[in-house]
Amino acid sequence: MNTAQPNDVHAAWLPPEAFRALGSRHTLVCGEGALVDTVRHETAQACARYGGSLDLPPPRPADARPAAGTSYDLVLALVPAGLLPITAAAVEVVYRRRHGAGALGEEGFLLARHAEVTVVLAEAPAGLLYGLYHLVRLGEAAFGLTRPMELHRPAMRLRMLDHWDNIDVHPVMGQVERGYAGGSIFWANGARRADLTRVGAYGRLLAAGGVNAVAVNNVNVHATEMRLLTDRLGDVAAIADVLRPYGIRVHLSVSFAAPVALGGLPAADPLDDGVRAWWADTTKRVYESIPDFGGYVVKADSEGQPGPFAYGRSHADGANLLADALAPFGGVVHWRAFVYNHRQDWRDRSSDRARAAGDHFAPLDGQFRDNVILQAKHGPMDFQPREPISPVIAAMPGTRLAVEFQVTQEYTGQQRHVCYLAPWWSEVLRFAPWGDDGRTVADVAAGGSAAGGGLVAVSNVGDDPFWTGHPLAQANLYAFGRLAWDPLLDPVAVLDEWIELTFAGSASGGLGPVRRALRGIMDDSWRTYERYTAPLGVGFMVRPGHHYGPDVDGYEYSPWGTYHFADRDGVGVDRTRASGTGFTGQYPPPWRDVYESVERCPDELLLFFHHVPYGHVLHSGSTVIQHIYDTHFAGVEQVAAMRRRWERLADVVDPGVHARVRERLDEQLRCAEEWRDQINAYFFRKSGVPDAHGRRIP
Ligand code: GCV
């Protein structure tokens, strides 16, 4: 195993300095297995650098415990183990008395400080690995005088990243669809990369954030990528080998038409016996090659991808077909709920893309197998900077649901803009669809007594030396894993963690100035982005195709179902039951009534749900038109302030990082000005209402 960084890559949030506290201790690691070996390897490397030592005890009989006086600073142990030193054994006894065996589960760990020894216990190897990275996060604080016993277990069983990576460079979408960080880390020039060192480094970063599953290819499955399921399966197996030491399982996006395209069958009808046999046999071969394979990801009947509709079958029929093939091996199918008509007639104001997933899937609740996970984008449209939650999340109590986020910043500045997304995800995860006393979106994804579907996100990494194009976009990848582990974490605290880990030891003058500057730049950056782009939840005022920069009417007369309906009197989409598309009716109470009411609808979603006159007064007291002007002027000023803050770090952070972020901030400021001017000019020209403060609108 090689945990070294490839030479041309920036170390992201695990620079060697992050291991200083661990590496200067006298440590004992107890346990067997590949993931425990990773723990040993990490500890040994840290000790070699920082002067600590690692004890590798030979297997001993259970009664041959080290003497009571053996002075370790740190014990990391898989329990039950027969060779725990007295201090760790004492912690184990307390743990068992309080919680009973099994409380830590497959991935949990316990951290305690007892008799001046820090003890991490786990009942399964993955738990020990997560415990190790938790220690790294804590740094010296893990070795403080006292620490109460802490139990950590992930809220979500599945914490997954989807890669929209292609093997062949796609003529329109490139190597990575919606990728803003260079090429794929897995694939280059029509083949798997021969050197997977970078993939190993990625797995390590993900494990340190808590991610445990990765889908290695685009959900839009093209001809070459389709063959990963069959004759190119060896490539997937090679990637799985590199990610396995970090507790990460590999998943594969497959085409619903694979039995036709790869198997030579006349059709891919999910109820056809030949098709079922083909999937069963093909899946068996996958598991022969990759015994811990995670499962399939499917985009069907969506944006041109094949699906069960072609055979008059439902999405439950389609998903269950694959689920049955995977079930004997413990695999799951992630079936995406992103199904809508992308050939809509813009003249038809009754059809509504926001309704599509609910209309298609809610009636199928209860019809999916237990190993089907319905993967719904968090909003009903498509990862806009502001949307309500997708009502599908609240409409399918009999289905395992995964919530999908987009770490790659397709609609949030494409990693040219700073946009720390964790506050947005946190709002979504804490949202209570049935009202304040009810379950939250995070609860649904976590599942109750039955397994939930977990959290999934589209990754934002590529072969860029800074991993994510914009170095500060790394924080989004880190935060996704952390929120999937614990959705109640405070996004600002998560940002602090990321700052500490990433800039540990490399900031001249200590971390204080870096923390202050980055908090000032990043904490509110999502809301800043929202301010200077499409207003009040209306969304989609981007340039068609690549989706970067403003184009207010770019999608207004298109078939994609993305309209704002601005005219001389007002703007917004009427999605009410009373006079609009009826979309509000897909929500349970109280939200179906809150969103229905123009008076009660939250300001930030007003234009998502209602078409209102420019003079409509918001809860904030401002009119819609004045709000548009004010937020767009303010947003640009905030970006200018971000840029000034970053300048102050010129001699404090790594010059390469500084230069890259400066270049991106220059572009962000240019683009924010463009947004401000286009949006303000558009609405001024439509409405004829001047800015109350007399500022220049071109
Ligand atoms: C992978 C949006 C993106 C597409 C993406 C799709 C999806 O439409 O623009 O590039 O396709 O979402 O999530 O499937």
In this prediction, residues 191-198 reach a mean pLDDT of: 97
**Ligand 1 nearest-atom number relative to CA 406:** 13
More confident residue, 309 or 6: 309
Q: Answer yes or no: is pLDDT of 133 > 80.
A: yes
Give the C-alpha distances (Å, rounded to integers) separating 242 from 36, 39, 293, 635.
Answer: 15, 15, 13, 43
Using 50, 70 and 90 to split pLDDT, how confident is the model at 431?
A: very high
- Pocket test of ligand 1: the residue of 161, 172, 303, 414 to mutate, having most ligand atoms within 8 Å of its CB, is 303
For residue 556, the CA-to-ligand 1 centroid distance in Å is: 19
Q: Which residue, judged by its Cα, is nearest atom 8 of ligand 1?
A: 382
* Dihedral (CA of 241, 246, 249, 255) sign: negative
Instruction: Read off the pLDDT of residues 474-497 as tens digits, 9 standing for 90 and up.
Output: 999 999 999 999 999 999 999 999
**Ligand 1 nearest-atom number relative to CA 404:** 13
For residue 659, the CA-to-ligand 1 centroid distance in Å is: 31
Q: Which residue, judged by its Cα, is nearest atom 12 of ligand 1?
A: 382
In this prediction, residues 143-167 reach a mean pLDDT of: 94
Instruction: Read off the pLDDT of residues 112-122 as tens digits, 9 standing for 90 and up.
Output: 999 899 999 99
Using 50, 70 and 90 to split pLDDT, how confident is the model at 57?
A: low
Of 73, 123, 165, 410, the active-site residue reads 410
Q: What is the per-residue pLDDT for 69?
A: 47
Return d(Cα 554, Cα 564) in angstroms, integer.
11
Would you say 475 and 495 are in contact if contact means Cβ atoms under 8 Å apart?
yes
Q: Answer yes or no: is pLDDT of 68 > 50.
A: no
Of 123, 177, 301, 382, the active-site residue reads 382
Q: What is the per-residue pLDDT for 594?
A: 98
Q: What is the per-residue pLDDT for 498?
A: 97
For residue 375, the CA-to-ligand 1 centroid distance in Å is: 14
Using 50, 70 and 90 to split pLDDT, how confident is the model at 508?
A: confident
Percentage of the chain with pLDDT > 70? 96
Of 32, 116, 303, 345, the active-site residue reads 303
For residue 109, the CA-to-ligand 1 centroid distance in Å is: 37
Instruction: Read off the pLDDT of residues 78-96 as tens digits, 9 standing for 90 and up.
Output: 987 667 888 888 898 899 9
- Cβ neighbours of residue 316 under 8 Å, at least 6 residues apart? 364, 367, 368
Strands 109-114 and 150-152: antiparallel
Return d(Cα 332, Cα 356) in angstroms, integer.
24
For residue 378, the CA-to-ligand 1 centroid distance in Å is: 14
Instruction: Read off the pLDDT of residues 524-545 as tens digits, 9 standing for 90 and up.
Output: 999 999 999 999 999 999 999 9
**Ligand 1 nearest-atom number relative to CA 547:** 9
Q: What is the per-residue pLDDT for 505?
A: 73
Instruction: Read off the pLDDT of residues 607-619 as tens digits, 9 standing for 90 and up.
Output: 999 999 999 999 9
Instruction: Give ligand 1 pocket residues (Cβ under 6 A).
Output: 164, 177-178, 219-220, 299, 338, 382, 410
* Alpha helices by DSSP H, 151-307: 197-209, 223-226, 233-243, 258-261, 273-289
For residue 306, the CA-to-ligand 1 centroid distance in Å is: 15
In this prediction, residues 511-515 reach a mean pLDDT of: 92
Computed over every residue of the chain, the mean pLDDT equals: 95
Q: Answer yes or no: is pLDDT of 239 > 90.
A: yes
Whether 382 sits among the annotated catalytic residues: the reply is yes
